[in-house]
Each structure stands twice: as C-alpha cells, then as structure tokens.
Amino acid sequence: MELALDIPEILDEILRLATPSAQAAAAQTCQRWSHHSLRWLWRHMDSYYPLLEILSPLVGSGSWYRKFSSDLSTSDWNRFSRYAAYIFSIHHISIYPFWVGQRSPQRLWETFLLHHPEPASMFSNLTEIKWNVETDEDLLSVMVFLAPSVISLNLMCGRSIGDKCIEILEVLGQRKIYLTKFTFAMLTPNKTVMDRLPAVLAGQTKLTAVALSPYFATQAVVTVLGQLPSLREYTSNLVGKSLEPMVGFDWQEGAFPLLERFTLCSSITHASDLMTKPHQPQLRHFTLVFQEPFHYTMLPAFCSNLSALQSCITTITLVLYSETGATGSLSFDLIRPLLRCAALLYLRLTSHLVLAYDDEDIAIMASSWPNLRVLRLCPDPVPQTGPDAGQPLRTVGTFTHSFSQLVHLAIYINSLDVGVAQSGVPHRRLATIDFGTSPAPPGSAEAASLYLANIMEPGGNLRGGRRVDRMTSMGSMVRDTAECCPEGTFWHNVSKRVEIIHSSQQDSNAED
C-alpha cells in the first residue's frame, strides 16, 4: 500500500531548495507518494517554477533553478508518467529565463515531445502563459505549452531573438488557439516579424486586449486591430529600443467599434493632432506616453483637444519627459483644460519637472473632479535651480488631501517634507497608500512616519475613517522608516496591522 505523506513533509521535501543528496532522497520519497498526496500537491501547481521543482529529482538536479544534469532515462520517464496525470491542473505558467540565470531544460522538453507527439493535450486546463524568451530553446518550451485552452499569451522577446518568434505566433492559428488577451514585445525591431504580424492578428478574432511594442503600430497592424470585432483595450507602450513616432497611426471611420482603453506612445504633436480626429465615444481610459523630450509649453493644446473631444473619459494618464536641462515648473494653466473632464476618476501625472499649484488651483481641481478615486502623483519634488533650489515641493501634501473620495493614493515619499507631513488632512475612504521611491532620500523616512502618524490612528485606521488595508513601497523606505522609529513607536504599531508590500509584489492593476 502506498504511503500517504503528511502535507508539510511533501512541501519540505520538494518545495524547498536542497542539496543534490537531499534531492536524491526526495526522488526515492516520490515513489512512495499516494495519489491523494499528489492530487493535493498539484492543486497548488499553477506556475512553471514549482513544476521544475517537482521534476528535478527525476534527472538528478540539485534544485529547480539549476540546469538539468542528465537525460531522462526510461525509468525516469516511467516515474514522470505519474506526475503527468496531474499536469491537467495547471492554469497559469510563467518563466523569466534571464532572472533564473539558466536556460530552460531543453532536454526535458525534447524527451517530452518524443513521448507525446501532441503535448498540448496534457495541458487542457492551461489558460495563461507569460514567457520571457531569451534564446531559441526558450521558444521550444513555449511550443510545448501552447494548448487550445490558452486564452492569454504574454511573450517578451530578448535581443537575441529574431525571426523565429513569429513562427511561434503562427502556431496559434495552426493549433486553433484563439486568444482573448495578447501581449507581444521585442527589444529590437525585426522587419520579418513586423511584416507577418498583421496576418497573425487577423486570425485572432476573439481578442479583447492587445499590447504591442510601439514600433509594431504600423498602419497595417492598426488597420487589422481596428477591424477586430471584440477589441476593447489597445496598448502601444511596451519595452522597445530606438522608438519612432507612430506617424501612420490614425483613427479610421468605423474602426475600433468597442475600444474602451487606449494607451499610446507617441510624440506630443502627433497625439494632439490625433485628438482632433473623429473619436470613439465609448473610450473611457486614455494613457499617453510622450516618448521624446518636449517643451512643456506644447501641453496645453493637447489637453484642450483631449478634454474637448473626450468628455466621457474617466481615466487619464500622462507620462511626460522634459527636455534635457529644462528648468521651471509645469504650471496649473498647462493642465487647466483637463478640468472639462468632469467624470474623471483616475489621474496620474509624472514628470521630471516640478508640478506647481497654489491653494486656489487645488480647490478648483478638487471641485472639478469631486469623485476622483485614484491619484498617482510622482513628480520630481526638489527644484534643482532657481530661488527654491533644494527645497521639497510642500504643496504636494495639500494637493493629495484635497480629494475626499480617494481610495488609492500613490505618491513619491520624497515629495513629503516634515511640514507637509504635519499638515495633512485624512481621507475617509483611502484604502491603499503607495510610497514609490528607492532609495529613500535623506529625511524621507522621518517624513513618512510623521505623515502616517498624522492621518492614521495607532491601530492602523485612518483618523475618522476606514482602515488602510495596504501600503506599498520600495523596500528601502520601509526599512529606513522602521530604523528611525524604534519598536513600540507609531510605525511599528501600524506595521503590525497594515500589510507592507514591497514594490516587486505590488498589484500593477491597483488603479483599476
């Protein structure tokens, strides 16, 4: 009778980093596992890394992040067959080879393909794949997992990947795989890929969300995307090199009939012109990344066009980059036209220039956007030149506390000096706070502590309001703040009840 191991013993033997000798012992243990134990284990097997951890004893590898040391023998494969029955439970697989530091186990997958001419049949429940491709061997691994059940594919290709990545995408049609979400980025442009990509997209008639590198936004690609019947989200702002403005991009009559979210990486001149064209009335979320340096006096015309034509937009994100050596401030007048977007619920302003507002400006903004729920304000708070050189932007604290409906607040903690921290007014609805900076600048830890102490009760609730469920930050700010607040002080009392999440673990969709 098979031995049913306790769950903690299974996790201790398999889901931990171990020496080769310990892994060899674990391999012997595997042979005694009961099907009940295996079923329990595989219910938690939704990612690629624990899959490699499970398989590593079969090939004598010390642990899952090391290269497999030998080919699979017949006896190894017989044992693997026991695991194979539980691969059906995997729904999500992701791998980042450049982070692991080793190539994907090509030998394992070659053997896998040899024994299973149709390996995709073993992953009948797999729905999502996220893959960072660094070598052609990584592409082979992707092929193994492409099953008809996959509806979300995120493929990020490194510098060494050439034409072969488009062959992977063409397999989608051959295997009758119809995605609903597709993300595709390459670090460097490839003409073959760019020429063949429109045909791939044309066959994906069920797509609802597409994200591509900016240089893939050719007129041919945009034309195909505009004809997809279900597309609701289009992003053209992924990693890329030597980006060029999408001069050919334009709305076409009848194109993008259901588009709700649009992210564009473009020049400010072209984007401003785009906003003067007939627009999609159902568009709600607009993000613009200005990809090249610009003079901030160009912003008003764009904002005016955006707000006049897109009055139904509830989300606006502007990512701005200043000209080298530019000084001064982004004054309130530059974003005044955005006040016409009365339905605004989400605002993000990012710039290397200082955002300057006076109390009257802030009052106007707060009255124009009374229901603003998400505010991401990430300016460079310290002017480098002029009479205020070296002085933190004190009005940031006042700005962030002028919107009573905020649920999520993101602000660089170095935007807070001691004066701002002591004068803040608490929000009653705020649930998450994101202090996004690393490393923490001098004095920011003290400012963070004072800021939190002013708006929160020692138990972790906002003064007069609800409990803060989550605070996110780069690790250095949390550490530095804790160091300047000894145990028993406010920060430590709050940290016992509030979940502190480092930036690498943040929910990227917090604004939603």
Q: How confident is the model at residue 372 (pLDDT cuts 50, 70, 90)?
A: confident
pLDDT in the model for residue 283: 75
Q: How far apart are CA 477 and CA 486, in angstroms?
A: 15
Residue 154 near residue 185, CB atoms below 8 Å: no
Q: How confident is the model at residue 201 (pLDDT cuts 50, 70, 90)?
A: very high
Residue 483: pLDDT above 90? no
pLDDT in the model for residue 437: 46
Listing DSSP states for 343-399 in one string gives T--EEEEEESSEE---HHHHHHHHHH-TT--EEEEEE--S-SSSTTTT---THHHHH
- Average pLDDT of the chain to the nearest whole number: 61
pLDDT in the model for residue 371: 76
Mean pLDDT of 81-97: 61
Residues near 176 by beta carbon (within 8 Å), at least 6 away in sequence: 148
Q: How far apart are CA 151 and CA 451, in angstroms?
A: 44
Q: How far apart are CA 490 and CA 458, in angstroms?
A: 6
Among residues 71, 70, 56, 73, the alpha carbon closest in space to that of 20 is found at 56
How crowded is residue 436: how many other Cβ atoms within 10 Å of its Cβ?
A: 17
Structure tokens of 28?
């012997």
Residue 305: pLDDT above 80? no
Q: How confident is the model at residue 277 (pLDDT cuts 50, 70, 90)?
A: low
Q: Which amino acid type is present at position 492? A: H
User: Vertex 232, ends 503 and 252: CA angle to 5°?
Assistant: 125
Q: Using one digit for the tens of pLDDT, what is the confidence trace for 218-256?
A: 888 888 998 999 999 988 866 544 344 444 455 666 778
Listing DSSP states for 77-136 in one string gives HHHHHHHHTTGGG--EEEE-HHHHTS---HHHHHHHHHH-SSGGGGGTT--EEEEEE-SH
Residue 396: pLDDT above 60? no
Q: Using one digit for the tens of pLDDT, what is the confidence trace for 398-431?
A: 555 567 777 776 655 444 444 444 444 445 566 6
Tell me whether strands 329-330 and 285-290 are parallel, antiparallel or unpaired. Answer: unpaired
What residues pair up with 376 in beta bridges, in sequence order? 348, 410
Q: How does DSSP classify residue 245?
A: -
Q: How confident is the model at residue 207 (pLDDT cuts 50, 70, 90)?
A: very high
**Is 0.75 surpassed by the pTM of this model?**
no
pLDDT in the model for residue 132: 77
Of residues 476 and 505, more confidence is placed in 476
Q: What's the gap between Cα 181 and its chain centre?
A: 14
Q: Using one digit for the tens of pLDDT, what is the confidence trace for 173-194?
A: 988 999 999 999 887 778 888 8
Taking CA atoms, 302 is separated from 88, 299, 346, in Å, by: 51, 5, 18
pLDDT in the model for residue 498: 46
Q: How far apart are CA 27 and CA 42, in angstroms?
A: 17
